[in-house]
């Protein structure tokens, strides 16, 4: 099931979504990453981020609420410590980057231009940091500026990752008109769990986190369907609750070009390979 995305060959449509697979080293101990269509890094930020305090994981029916807070050791450490490992893999690496302003994004993109990574994904939709993409999207002018500047500099195809807590159709239009080559849909929508038995009944220190897993599948499918209706030719990395071959086919059916798996890796690191073997 080879797929061609903007001239890049993916040996199958399955990619690991940003986050749950870390930067690959740990996951590679469980599965052979080279069997994947692609691997997305955990979102890299310019400076290191310590992430949110525990708890970061709240189980819900058919899904999870996470509040990781983009823990990562920063862009320079990524280049030095993680990229050499990723370069060795025989799979397409997608670099997910997050930032607070146009300068940070541009610095990272410039440096990624000289690497082997195949696609750059701007994470403008992380639900778990107080400032960052999530708030950039609320400012349409800032969004335009960042995407325009990023696409000007980037020598790699540029994807923008959006969530559902925005006017999706309008934002998709804005980012595509300003030079994005594709969209990643969807990031985890904001969710809250209340545990009435606890002294502090609203779980998670920020009061909410991002919801992943099969519980968001109907929402994810509709986002892709709606965007694809307006932009029939756009390449989309679709994700949200994919845990089976049937799920993959459903995402392809509504118009995804590649299909990301996040939660599914947490259920069972072997799951993406089982699906690929079955496609």
Ligand X SMILES: Cc1cc2nc3c(=O)[nH]c(=O)nc-3n(C[C@H](O)[C@H](O)[C@H](O)COP(=O)(O)OP(=O)(O)OC[C@H]3O[C@@H](n4cnc5c(N)ncnc54)[C@H](O)[C@@H]3O)c2cc1C
Residue positions in the annotated binding site for substrate?
42, 66-70, 123
Point out which span in 47-55, 65-73, 167-175, 225-233 binds ligand FMN (CB under 6 A). 65-73
Q: Does 126 participate in catalysis according to the annotation?
A: yes
Residue 62 touches ligand X, criterion: CB under 6 A: no
CB nearer to ligand X: give 45 or 52.
Answer: 52
String of contacts with ligand FMN for each residue 245-264, x by CB under 6 A? ----------------xxxx
Question: Between vectors from CA 11 to CA 246 and to CA 87, what angle results, nearest 5°?
Answer: 125
Binders of other proteins among residues 36 to 95 (CB under 8 A) are 42, 50-51, 53-59, 61-64, 66, 68, 71
Residue 59 touches ligand X, criterion: CB under 6 A: yes
Which of 106, 126, 166, 223 is an active site residue? 126
CB nearer to ligand FMN: give 43 or 154.
Answer: 43
Partners of 182 in beta bridges: 159, 235
Nearest in space to 3 (alpha carbons), one of 257, 261, 259, 248: 257
Residue 278 touches other proteins, criterion: CB under 8 A: no
107 contact partners, CB below 8 Å, separation of at least 6: 46, 75
Task: Please classify residue 206 by burial: count the beta carbons closer than 10 Å to its beta carbon, then call 0-12 exposed, 13-18 middle and 19+ buried.
Answer: middle
Partners of 10 in beta bridges: 3
**DSSP readout, 89-127?**
SSSEEEEEEE-SSHHHHHHHHHHHHTSS--EEEEE---T
H helices of 165-278, where? 168-177, 217-230, 245-254, 263-267, 271-278
Binders of a second copy among residues 158 to 217 (CB under 8 A) are 164-170, 189-194, 196, 201-202, 207-208, 211, 214-215
> How far is Cα 20 from Cα 138, in angstroms, rounded to an integer?
26
String of contacts with ligand FMN for each residue 194-233, x by CB under 6 A? ------------------xx--x-----------------
Residues that bind ligand X (CB under 6 A): 59, 195, 197
């Amino acid at each position: 099931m080879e797929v061609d995305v903007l001239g890049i060959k993916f040996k199958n449509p399955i990619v690991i979504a940003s986050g749950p697979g870390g930067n690959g080293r740990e996951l590679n101990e469980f599965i052979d990453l080279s069997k994947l269509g692609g691997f997305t890094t955990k979102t890299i930020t310019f400076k290191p981020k310590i992430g949110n305090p525990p708890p970061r994981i709240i189980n819900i029916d058919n899904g999870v609420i996470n509040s990781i807070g983009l823990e990562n050791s920063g862009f320079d450490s990524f280049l030095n410590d993680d990229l050499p490992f990723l370069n060795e893999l025989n799979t397409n690496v997608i670099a997910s980057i997050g930032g607070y302003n146009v300068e940070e994004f541009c610095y990272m993109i410039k440096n990624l231009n000289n690497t082997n990574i195949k696609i750059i994904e701007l994470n403008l939709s992380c639900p778990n940091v107080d400032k960052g993409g999530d708030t950039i999207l609320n400012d349409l002018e800032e969004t335009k500026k960042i995407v325009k500047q990023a696409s000007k500099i980037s020598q790699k195809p540029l994807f923008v990752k959006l969530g559902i807590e925005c006017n999706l159709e309008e934002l998709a239009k804005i980012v595509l008109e300003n030079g994005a080559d594709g969209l990643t849909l969807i990031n985890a929508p904001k969710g809250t769990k209340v545990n009435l038995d606890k002294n502090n009944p609203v779980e998670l220190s920020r009061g909410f986190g991002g919801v992943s897993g099969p519980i968001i599948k109907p929402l994810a499918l509709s986002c892709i369907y709606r965007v694809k209706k307006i932009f029939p030719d756009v390449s989309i990395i679709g994700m949200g609750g994919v845990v089976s071959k049937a799920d993959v086919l459903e995402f392809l059916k509504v118009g995804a070009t590649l299909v990301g798996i996040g939660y599914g890796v947490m259920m069972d690191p072997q799951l993406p390979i089982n699906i690929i073997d079955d496609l």
